[in-house]
Amino acid sequence: MKPRRADWLAVLKELKIMEHPLFFEVAEIALLEETFEANIRDYTKIIHGYGKQNRLQEAENILVSMKRRGFICDQVTLTTMVHMYSKAGNLKLAEDTFEEIKLLGQQLDKRSYGAMIMAYIRAGMPERGEGLLREMDNEEIYAGSEVYKALLRAYSMNGNTKGAQRVFGALQIAGISPDAKLCGLLINAYQVAGQSEEAHIAFENMRRAGLEPSDKCVALVLAAYEKQNKLNKALDFLMDLERDGVVVGKEASAILAQWLKKLGVVEQVEQVLREFAAT
């Protein structure tokens, strides 16, 4: 008795749960069996699996095999390929595949756009990704929150304050409520750029929005002041927090202690450490 599709799927499910090394070999055998009744999604899942393991050649071989059997690549399969090339750092192939999606003549969905935006971010080209985000807005296609966060993070790490501001505003327009982590990314952009006052303003805006300041956000403002050697401003900032009942956490305390140590202010360092030990 030949195995039916349900039998093949049951075996593959168990192999996947076990993370068995023979999973892909069995899956490829199943694709060739008539009783498996393979469809395009079966091929896509295997391509995705190879992509997650960065096995590009095997994934491309499955794509070729799929085409030989008369299956036409659709947006889902091609988007999976864009994801794969993106993770592998091959921007050219990601772009070529994205163009292939456009040639299908269908409206691109948020997954296809998102995959290409992430490819640009990974390639260190967030501006190109932001351009696609604007294209999505024009088409009234709304990106997922993870895309906005990734763009904001990319601008933040580079100290691109204007880019970070744009994306921070765009995500709010998209209905995403900023949390302390997102605010921290905006503050970090100012910190990296050496704009301490702007970092402080972003911090206060976060508080005015009703968000509890995290230790990380406090630490970032202190780091911004340290970069510009504005010790008095930093101390004023900390005293304001103390008056408002905000307890300075471990990371912020460590930054202040290291800063004071660099300045050779030993007594102040010891005081900071004593206060930290008491919290």
Return the exposure string of 98-118: e unless at least 16 CB atoms fall within 10 Å of the residue's CB, then b: beebeeeeeebeebbbbbbbb
Average pLDDT of each block of 10 consecutive residues along the chain (279 residues)?
A: 83 89 88 87 92 92 92 94 94 96 92 97 97 93 93 97 97 92 97 97 95 94 95 90 88 90 70 59
Token pair, residue 21, equals 């090394």
> What is residue 3's predicted lDDT score, i.e. its pLDDT?
81
> What is residue 264's predicted lDDT score, i.e. its pLDDT?
77
Q: Using DSSP, state whether 250 is helix, strand or coil.
A: helix
- Amino acid, single-letter form, for residue 278: A
Q: Cα–Cα distance between 62 and 44 in angstroms, integer?
A: 9
Q: Tokens 């994801």 correspond to what residue?
A: 83
Nearest to 162 by CA among 186, 143, 178, 146: 186
> What is residue 273's predicted lDDT score, i.e. its pLDDT?
53
> What is residue 263's predicted lDDT score, i.e. its pLDDT?
82
Q: Cα–Cα distance between 101 and 112 in angstroms, integer?
A: 8
Residue 52's contacts (CB-CB under 8 Å, 6 or more residues apart) are: none
Q: In this structure, are residues 36 and 8 in contact, taking their beta carbons and an 8 Å threshold? A: yes
Residue 150 DSSP code? H
Q: In this structure, are residues 32 and 58 in contact, taking their beta carbons and an 8 Å threshold? A: no
Token pair, residue 224, equals 């911004």
> What is residue 272's predicted lDDT score, i.e. its pLDDT?
59
Q: Cα–Cα distance between 1 and 50 in angstroms, integer?
A: 31
> What is residue 269's predicted lDDT score, i.e. its pLDDT?
55
Q: Which domains does the chain have, with CATH numbers?
A: 39-160+168-186 (1.25.40.10), 217-279 (no CATH)
Q: Cα–Cα distance between 22 and 226 in angstroms, integer?
A: 55
> What is residue 229's predicted lDDT score, i.e. its pLDDT?
92
> What is residue 216's predicted lDDT score, i.e. its pLDDT?
96
> What is residue 97's predicted lDDT score, i.e. its pLDDT?
96
> What is residue 119's predicted lDDT score, i.e. its pLDDT?
97
